[in-house]
Amino acid sequence: MTLVNMSRTIELGRAVLSSPSTKLELWLTTLITISPAQDATNLQHLSDSETIDLLASGTVWVGRANGMHLSLDITFRREPLPINQLRHLADSVVNAPVSG
């Protein structure tokens, strides 16, 4: 028996964090991956907006399992950063002042 992967990834939005003093920008893309249970609604036939409306409707059950994770892919010009630069960037972002 072949199981079909019914998961679906949708881009929720993008943001740019900038530092005018250093002339640097950090571009962020937010994605959500939905992996419904085997007997759940087939999300493949829904548009992105229909899928988001379904999730926001309050009629969909959400469960938490060991498989939940947060994945960050940080690249510079689409190339991975060396680990020491990645650590420095992560520390800088975590400790950066926030302005509105």
In a domain, 13, yes or no: yes
pLDDT tens for 63-94 read 666 655 556 677 777 788 888 988 888 788 77
In a domain, 100, yes or no: no
In a domain, 81, yes or no: yes
The domain containing residue 12 runs over which residues?
Answer: 8-95
In a domain, 40, yes or no: yes
* Domains contained in the chain, number: 1
In a domain, 2, yes or no: no
Question: CA separation (Å) from 43 to 6, 30, 46, 69, 76?
Answer: 7, 19, 5, 21, 33
In a domain, 3, yes or no: no
Single pTM value for the model = 0.46
pLDDT tens for 26-63 read 777 777 877 776 666 677 788 888 888 887 887 776 66
pLDDT tens for 19-33 read 788 877 777 777 787
